[in-house]
Amino acid sequence: MSILTSSWFIAAVILAGLAVQSVHGASLGTNTEDVADANACKCKLKLGDGTFEGTNYSAKEIDEALEKYKNLAKLGKKDFMGFPKHFGGKDNSGNLVFPDVKACVPPLQEFQIHKAGSGDSPPKSADRIVIDANGVLCGCMTHTGMKNPNDFQACN
């Protein structure tokens, strides 16, 4: 094989590898665990006193919550805690909770997130996913760390 032919062959192999990786959501130099957790919600937040409180959720746990929401919504039912519930999209100060999410179409719903393995009747959670009218996940929010138990803030 000539040097020119070898170069074209190597370039084709590299491009094919990039195409395969992009189909699976990974890129060169990226840890696939980081990519898999791109939809995770980090509701473990730093409080004013410097301590951390709350829970982080994997993408799988968020997907499970979204699936439970969709199953209940399809049947027009609520879970044992009364979720899903209407969510106005703003905190008690009137600020949009997810201002960067332009695609979220009102009305919005909130639904509890639970850690994997918490069973069919887990205790009430301070953490929620927010879903739009089309069933699209807008983001996550938490009541953790708030002075008023009815206030909330967006998770990372």
pLDDT value at position 36? 42
Q: How many CB atoms lie within 10 A of CB 150?
A: 8
- pLDDT tens-digit readout, 71-95: 999 999 998 889 999 988 776 666 7
Kindly state whether residues 30 and 54 are assigned to the same domain: no
pLDDT value at position 38? 63
The model scores a pTM over 0.85: no
Kindly state whether residues 42 and 23 are assigned to the same domain: no
Kindly state whether residues 1 and 62 are assigned to the same domain: no
Please list, in sequence order, all residues whose beta carbon lies within 8 angstroms of the beta carbon of residue 42, skipping any fewer than 6 positions away. Answer: 56, 57, 155, 156
Kindly state whether residues 80 and 16 are assigned to the same domain: no
pLDDT value at position 101? 67
Cα(147)–Cα(156) distance, rounded to whole angstroms? Answer: 19
Kindly state whether residues 74 and 96 are assigned to the same domain: yes
Rounded to the nearest integer, the mean pLDDT of the chain is 73
CB 156 within 8 A of CB 144: no
Kindly state whether residues 97 and 150 are assigned to the same domain: yes
Domain extent for 29: 1-34
70 compared with 103, residue with greater pLDDT: 70
| Res. 131: pLDDT tops 90 | yes
